[in-house]
Structure 1
Amino acid sequence: MHMLARVNDEALRSVVDLFHGARLTPTQRRIAHSLVEHAAKAAYLSAAEVADLAGVSQPSVTRFAMALGYSGYPALRRELRDLTGGEDEPGAADGNAMQLAVRAEVEHLGRLQEQLGRLDDVEEAARILMGSRPLPVLGLRAAAPLAGYFGYFAAKVHPDVRVLDVGGTPLLDRLDQARAAGGSALLAVVLPRYPRESLEAIREAKKSGYAIVAITDSVVSPVAELADVVLPAAVGTQLVFDLHTGPMAMAMVLLQAMCDAAPDLAQRRLEEFEQAAARRHLFMA
């Protein structure tokens, strides 16, 4: 399988640093995310190609470059080329659209594997979350299934997990109730198109004293500005609806780290669950 060369971690951080501190519109954040996600080839793409990659208009790419202080996109592209270094390997990708979408997910997981060579953020997030009783897990709209999936398994090793996957005014009430009961941390899953209600709930949670751990698609996601720990995992954008393979893998990595952070508690609760499952004949195998 032919893939574009990946940039190293230092070069990728340099690309990310270009966008830190800049006040970007949602459209500009989408462009920034695409440039980070495709850093290996972005420095060799035209403004029109970047626009296609990000799903925006070509003038939006030009305005994005100027918002960062460049004279236009060519100047930004030169900067990206200097930061990433090396030569691209452009060869046309083989396969149909479905294969290319899955291939892109393989590349995302490859970058996630490299990212997990440094576990400081994952381990810090695990300690924060495992110490929260109860532990609210927020995920609205596209993120709701992932919040529920994480919550289902997390409840097997954590004594009080509360999945918040429905919006509206009761959402803030449930956050207040969890805080009053002793909750100290919130796991927030925020995926494109970044529901406004999720961000508003996170802001309120932060004001009330919650530590925020966020699983999101990029370090330039709007939730990154609010979170104490950000765990990025790219989302696939080549099909009509996004692929969330990377965020799901990150969620399970985080859960493993939570088990490692409190091994006695995790083991005891798993044994209790297995005993209850056997007594109730829950499973066929």
Structure 2
Amino acid sequence: MEGNRQDLMRLIQMRFPRLSKGQKLIAEYILKHYDKAAFMTAAKLGVTVGVSESTVVRFANELGFSGYPKLQKALQELIKTKLTSVQRIELSHDYISEENALKSVLKADMENLRSTLEKINNNTFEDVVNEIFKAKRIYIIGLRSSLALADFLGFYLSLILDNVRVVSTGVSDIFEQLYRAGEGDLVIGIGFPRYSIKTIEALKFAKSKNASVVAITDSLLSPLASNADFALIAQSNMASFVDSLVAPLSVINALVVAVGLREKDRISETFKNLENIWEEYNVYTYKAKQTNE
């Protein structure tokens, strides 16, 4: 039942007649305000509708969930691709104030990291590392807020490997940049709700060209994952207009480190040369050289 999130509203309506008086109040509130209920604790939801926290828990059980957190997760899955930026701003005002913004956001990001550590498949992670080394060419695509993640992954992989290209929006269309991708190549797509249609289409295009496809996304139900051979899952839930990219960035960081560990000698030589270049052209601040008097 918990997997049929798209039927959640219909389920609540079907179960409504058999619910207790207090549970009916919860049901009515969720049916009208599911976007807000999705980010309420059981206690907060109880206070909002005027019932006890235990009544909220029993309501979740009545729907077939093992606990309220499972119901809350189902609600979040239901809405996360549908909320506009304006709606997300309104939600953040309800649950994050200026006074508690720092703690609330840090705690939410910590939860995203914890959940990602539990969900991510280590065997899939190792498979992706192997695919990176097998690939003739590596294309990385991430648009909108995921562009920063694509650039980060591209920047560090390019320091280790010489066959990496970040697909970007600009003078040429993304399909023109992926035109030569084919069998033996790897396309890494990065995307989180609300998913960029261009990224999804790019992965479909890569699949049609027989390239291997990796998706870095939030769920195996993600449209990116459905067009990928391998999916690395990183949670990005955030009741705000700002996408939480802490967990995805951590997964990408781990990917870069894992690739680097296999190329220790090459990396050592590369950075030795780069340090000389950076110092010569004043790329970074350097301490004055020690001189022996």
- TM-score using structure 2 length: 0.64
2:116 corresponds to: 112
Q: CA deviation at 1:120?
A: 1.5
Q: Structure 1 residue 253 and structure 2 residue 254: aligned?
A: yes
CA distances 1:199-240 after superposition (whole Å, capped 9, x unpaired): 111100011011111111222211111111111111132222
Q: CA deviation at 1:185?
A: 0.4
Q: Counterparts of 1:171 and 1:281 in 2: how far apart (Å)?
A: 34
1:202 corresponds to: 203
Query: After superposition, where does 1:59-208 map in structure 2 within 5 Å?
Result: 77-81=63-67, 96-115=100-119, 119-166=122-169, 170-177=173-180, 179=181, 184-208=185-209
Q: Counterparts of 2:136 and 2:193 in 1: how far apart (Å)?
A: 29
Q: Counterparts of 2:37 and 2:267 in 1: how far apart (Å)?
A: 43
Q: Counterparts of 2:184 and 2:62 in 1: how far apart (Å)?
A: 44
1:239 corresponds to: 240
Q: CA deviation at 1:128?
A: 0.7
Identity, % of aligned positions: 21
The structure that has the greater radius of gyration is 2
Which one has more relative contact order, counting CA pairs under 8 Å at least 6 apart?
Answer: 1
CA distances 1:91-111 after superposition (whole Å, capped 9, x unpaired): x99973542232111111122
Q: Structure 1 residue 283 and structure 2 residue 269: aligned?
A: no
SS at match of 1:155: helix
Q: Which amino acid aligns with 1:139?
A: G
Q: Which amino acid aligns with 1:137?
A: I
Which runs of 5 or more structure 1 residues have no equivalent in the other structure? 1-13, 29-44, 56-72, 85-91
Task: Describe the shift of the 1:124–1:263 C-alpha distance in structure 2 as closer, same or farther (beyond 3 A).
Answer: farther
Task: Describe the shift of the 1:105–1:82 C-alpha distance in structure 2 as closer, same or farther (beyond 3 A).
Answer: closer
Q: Is the 8 A contact 1:151 1:161 kept in 2?
A: yes
SS at match of 1:176: coil
Q: Counterparts of 1:139 and 1:235 in 2: how far apart (Å)?
A: 15
Q: Counterparts of 1:139 and 1:209 in 2: how far apart (Å)?
A: 20
Q: Counterparts of 2:132 and 2:249 in 1: how far apart (Å)?
A: 17
Q: Which amino acid aligns with 2:200?
A: L
Q: CA deviation at 1:262?
A: 3.7
SS at match of 2:231: strand
Q: Is the 8 A contact 1:135 1:183 kept in 2?
A: no
Q: Counterparts of 2:231 and 2:151 in 1: how far apart (Å)?
A: 19
Q: Which amino acid aligns with 1:175?
A: L
SS at match of 1:281: coil
Q: Is the 8 A contact 1:126 1:261 kept in 2?
A: no
SS at match of 1:239: coil
SS at match of 2:187: strand
Q: Is the 8 A contact 2:60 2:67 kept in 1?
A: no
Q: Is the 8 A contact 2:203 2:227 kept in 1?
A: yes
Task: Describe the shift of the 1:271–1:193 C-alpha distance in structure 2 as closer, same or farther (beyond 3 A).
Answer: same
Q: Is the 8 A contact 1:183 1:210 kept in 2?
A: yes
Q: How many pairs are equivalent?
A: 223
Q: Which amino acid aligns with 1:211?
A: S
Q: Counterparts of 2:226 and 2:115 in 1: how far apart (Å)?
A: 22
2:36 corresponds to: 52
| Structure 1: 4+ residue segments shifted above 6 A | 73-76, 92-95
Which runs of 5 or more structure 2 residues have no equivalent in the other structure? 10-25, 40-58, 71-94, 287-293
Q: Counterparts of 2:213 and 2:114 in 1: how far apart (Å)?
A: 26
Q: CA deviation at 1:148?
A: 1.0
